[in-house]
Amino acid sequence: MRIGDAKQTYEADEAIWTSPTQKFWFALLLLSLLVFPFMANAYLLYLGCLVGIAVISTTGLNILTGFTGLISLGQAGFMGVGGYTVAWFSLNTGLPFPVTLLLAGLLAAAVGILVGLPSLRVKGLYLAIATLAASVFLHFIFAEWESVTGGMGGLSLEPAHLFGFSFQSDFGMYFIIVPLAVLMVFAARNVFRTRIGRAFIAIRDRDISAEILGIDLLRYKLMSFALSSFYAGVAGGLFAYFYRVVTPESFPLSMSIFYLAAVIVGGMGNLLGGILGAAFMTLIPEILKLLTAALTPFYPNAPVFMSPMLEIIFGALIVGFLIFEPHGLAEIWHRIRRFFSLWPFRN
Amino acid sequence: MFSNIFEKGRRLAGLGSLVAALTVTAPAMAQDKEPIVFGGSIPLSGVFAFAGVHLHAGLTDYTSWINSEGGINGHPVKYVMEDTGYEVDRSVAAFKKISGSDSPAVYYGDSTAFMKTIASELNSQGNTLMSGASFATALTDNEKYPYQFIPGPNYSQMFGIILEYIASQGEGGDKPTVAFVYSDTEFGKDPIENGKAKAAELGIDVVEDIVTKPGSVDVSAEVLKLRRVRPDYVVFHGYVLSPINEFMVQMRQMGLGTKFMGTFWSSDKLIIDKMGEDADGYMGVMPYNYYDSEESGPMLDALRAQAEKSDPEAGYRPTGYMQGWFNAMVWTEVVKRTLDAGKELNAENMAASLASIKDWDTGGIIGVPVTVKNMSFPVGRIWRVNAKEGRYEPVSDWIQLD
């Protein structure tokens, strides 16, 4: 039983693991992630990969929106840059996937810096529109720069490969996507233990005060955009390898809204929130479909009646979270943890 | 919105009861043979739901009908589907789920994007033959998509049929002029290059080509462009309704005598329902007979009887319904040919069976015997809206492309 959370040193305050219990549960989580592909069927494996990609992209957006306070509707565009980078390099150079993924992240980061330039002058809704414009502009490039992007027909690419091994199946892709997702969430966690991460948070909390404290706003805002876009680029690259086809319609504006919703539903400014939000947004439509399936034996035409309802239920769930739990799923998780931490001494 | 949902529900309630009844009676009919599974990623919600509901009804009704006829070589047919919301990731999820649990022999894909995305998996699995809502030209590339086919002409072939019709309308050796108006989507841009090549081959002058957003409303600038070139025909592609109606009304108000035409998804009765008298004279290319046409044939009659039986109050069945039914008909023919040849029911054998379809009588669904070429059925007919009667009427014979 763990009671209280008193810390006596800076090291203890900054530690990732604050208790052996945490280590135990994290080890169990890693073990489950390792065992999962051997137990799951193709459908669950597919969903697992999808959640992995969503976690990376949501974590990236969380760095920008949740931790730095800069709203962005350009996430799908940055993912598109990553997807097309991977597809182009893979088709034209035959580079192995770690290199193409890195290039995808770097190019998306470069584009992110450009898109982030207005962030010194504008914020809030104005920045949202600026990033939205960037997203539209990128979509235009994907559709019209035919010699590079294949135009509206897009590009088809070969499976990811490394040392002669081809990651053709979802099983293979799982072992790229999920470790990378874990690694990148950890990297993000560590960013917020550094001066850079603390600068992001200071900017979010009050940018004028942050500037007075000596934080170079433009530098750190651009850094946040670069980092966030890097995550999006890698997620987009994985998306390309996973589906093995990229078209302009693979990265619609609704995808940006999806990730923003995942950040908000999960809990802004909380890495666990990003993970929970990504999983929630990806899995809930599938879980709701299970409800329909449960009705089918009694009423065979249930899908026809239920499908429009499921869209409404999904929307209502999101609105419900925003009203009743504005801090997102992460707060619910923390409450559960607190319950077990304090039990049996809770009042 | 709710009234729509409930109205839809009421109309389909009869269908549900019928499926339930057949589910109960199926075991008696099914003998002891393994069922043949028809799988489907169906957009019952989302932006394509207006068609998805009817596609689903067509597939469901066909399944009921074929089971009442004894199934396929004694094998009962089982139709397993999931709603996709017209989103690729959900379509893929549905495919994985249904493939894992029911091993479908054939599968309905809800979009070009889904069918392109799933192609590599389909090719590596080699178990399932796929067709669906897409008429994309790219899917007839046999090298890349050997296990996917188009249940009709692809979009380029539809343009070919339209242009052959237009070429036949010239007087005194003059060929009419044409303008293409299409949406800024993969769907919209699909047939344009091939359409231009076909026009050049037929000696038709393409005097303008205009790209718009799908569903856009303000098209006055584009209409002015068309006014300058005064095309004899405007061919729309990549829309369901808007901005076809805006173009037609504005150009007619300007006194232009231009005739208007469209491809499959923009040739449904929806145009008449929304535009009323203004829709008069609009022409569409359609590979199937309309539900309310005066044509007949044993299969077309069976379709009407089954539709009437499943939901007596629904009345007219849209083209999506016809497309769903025809998809299932082709699947049945392919499965039957494969089984008759004593071959295993895998994608390669079924693709070979599909390719062997020659001068096939569809029983009135298509008015002439059809032959598969490059994984498609390059045949269609031009129909014109008679607004007074509230339906499409044929203005050409069936046109088959080489």
pLDDT at A14: 76
User: Which among B56, B88, B120 has CB closest to A244?
Assistant: B120
Task: Tell me which residue of B365, B250, B243, B245 sits closest to B302, measured CA to CA.
Answer: B365
Question: Is A39 in CB contact (< 8 Å) with chain B?
Answer: no
Q: Which amino acid is at B308?
A: E
Q: Which of residues 16-75 of B touch A (CB under 8 A)?
A: 16, 19-20, 23, 42, 44-46, 49, 53, 56, 60
Q: What is the mean pLDDT of residues B160-189?
A: 91
Give me chain B's average pLDDT, please.
Answer: 90
8 Å CB contact between B190 and B156: yes
CA nearest to A169 within chain B: B121
8 Å CB contact between B139 and B268: no
**For residue B195, what is the enclosing H or E element?**
helix B192-202
Distances (CA, A) of B276 to A137, B255, B272: 39, 19, 5
pLDDT at A3: 56
- Answer whether A300 sits within 8 Å of B100, measured CB to CB: no
More confident residue, B2 or A219: A219
CA nearest to A241 within chain B: B117
Q: Are strands B205-212 and A165-167 parallel, antiparallel or unpaired?
A: unpaired
The neighbouring-strand residues paired with B234 are B179, B260
Q: What is the mean pLDDT of residues B380-385?
A: 97
pLDDT at A4: 58
Residues of A within 8 A of B83 (CB-CB) are 289, 292, 303, 307, 310
Question: Is A243 in CB contact (< 8 Å) with chain B?
Answer: yes
- The tens-digit pLDDT sequence of chain A (347 residues) is 455 567 788 888 777 777 788 889 899 999 999 999 999 999 999 999 999 999 999 999 999 999 999 999 999 999 999 999 999 999 999 899 999 999 999 999 999 999 998 887 888 889 999 999 999 999 999 998 999 999 888 898 989 988 888 888 899 999 999 999 999 999 999 999 899 999 999 999 998 999 999 999 999 999 999 999 999 999 999 999 999 999 988 999 989 999 999 999 999 999 999 999 999 999 988 888 888 888 878 887 788 888 888 888 888 988 888 888 888 999 999 888 888 877 777 55
More confident residue, A317 or B306: B306
Percent of chain B topping pLDDT 70: 92
CA nearest to A242 within chain B: B117
pLDDT at B11: 47
Percent of chain B topping pLDDT 90: 81
Distance from CA of A283 to the nearest CA of B (A): 10
The neighbouring-strand residues paired with B72 are B75
Residues of A within 8 A of B49 (CB-CB) are 307-308
Residues A295, B134: Cα–Cα separation, whole Å? 30
Q: Which residues contact B398 (CB under 8 A, 6 or more apart)?
A: B366, B367, B368, B379, B380, B381
Distance from CA of B216 to the nearest CA of A (A): 17
User: Cα–chain-centroid distance for residue A292?
Assistant: 28
Distance from CA of A30 to the nearest CA of B (A): 24
pLDDT at B1: 42
For the stretch A48-79, what's the b/e string if a residue is b when 16 or more beta carbons lie within 10 angstroms of its beta carbon?
bbbbbbbbbbbbbbbbbbbbbbbbbbbbbbbb
Q: Which of residues 248-307 of A touch B (CB under 8 A)?
A: 248-250, 285-286, 289, 292, 299-301, 303-305, 307
Reported as a single tens digit per residue, the pLDDT across B64-118 is 999 999 999 999 999 999 999 899 999 999 999 999 999 999 999 999 999 999 9
Task: Tell me which residue of B332, B322, B334 sits closest to B381, measured CA to CA.
Answer: B322
CA nearest to B41 within chain A: A303
Distances (CA, A) of A289 to A200, A283, A294, B277: 40, 10, 9, 42
Distance from CA of A34 to the nearest CA of B (A): 21
Residues A1, A19: Cα–Cα separation, whole Å? 11
Compute the count of residue pairs across chains A and B with CB atoms less than 8 Å apart: 104
User: Which among A43, A303, A308 has CB closest to B5?
Assistant: A308
pTM: 0.86
Q: Are strands B106-109 and B129-132 parallel, antiparallel or unpaired?
A: parallel
pLDDT at A309: 83
Q: Are strands B233-237 and B177-183 parallel, antiparallel or unpaired?
A: parallel
pLDDT at A18: 76
Q: Which amino acid is at A142?
A: F
Reported as a single tens digit per residue, the pLDDT across B192-249 is 999 999 999 999 999 999 999 877 778 899 999 999 999 999 999 999 888 999 999 9
Distance from CA of A2 to the nearest CA of B (A): 42
pLDDT at B214: 79
- Answer whether B82 sits within 8 Å of A285, measured CB to CB: no
Q: Which two structure tokens, joined as six digits, stand for B340? A: 């008759």
Q: Which amino acid is at B114?
A: F
* Interface predicted TM-score (ipTM) over 0.90: no
Instruction: Inform me whether the pLDDT recorded for B378 exceeds 80.
Output: yes
More confident residue, B157 or A325: B157
Residues of A within 8 A of B120 (CB-CB) are 156, 159, 168, 244-245
B381 phi, psi to nearest 5 deg: -140, 150
**For residue B83, what is the enclosing H or E element?**
strand B77-83
- Answer whether A43 sits within 8 Å of B46, measured CB to CB: no
Instruction: Inform me whether the pLDDT recorded for B22 exceeds 70.
Output: no
- Answer whether A143 sits within 8 Å of B19, measured CB to CB: no
pLDDT at B20: 43
pLDDT at A2: 55
* CB-count exposure of residue B43 (10 Å: 0-12, 13-18, 19+): buried
Residues of B within 8 A of A170 (CB-CB) are 96
CA nearest to A246 within chain B: B117
- Answer whether A250 sits within 8 Å of B113, measured CB to CB: yes
End-to-end CA distance of chain A: 16
- Answer whether A307 sits within 8 Å of B49, measured CB to CB: yes
Question: Is A151 in CB contact (< 8 Å) with chain B?
Answer: yes
pLDDT at B291: 96
- Answer whether B88 sits within 8 Å of A299, measured CB to CB: no
Residues of B within 8 A of A283 (CB-CB) are none
User: Which among A159, A247, A305 has CB closest to B113?
Assistant: A247
Residues of B within 8 A of A169 (CB-CB) are 124
pLDDT at A137: 94
Instruction: Inform me whether the pLDDT recorded for B175 exceeds 50.
Output: yes
Residues A70, A128: Cα–Cα separation, whole Å? 8
- Answer whether B89 sits within 8 Å of A289, measured CB to CB: no
Residues of A within 8 A of B89 (CB-CB) are 50
- Answer whether B85 sits within 8 Å of A307, measured CB to CB: yes
pLDDT at B304: 97
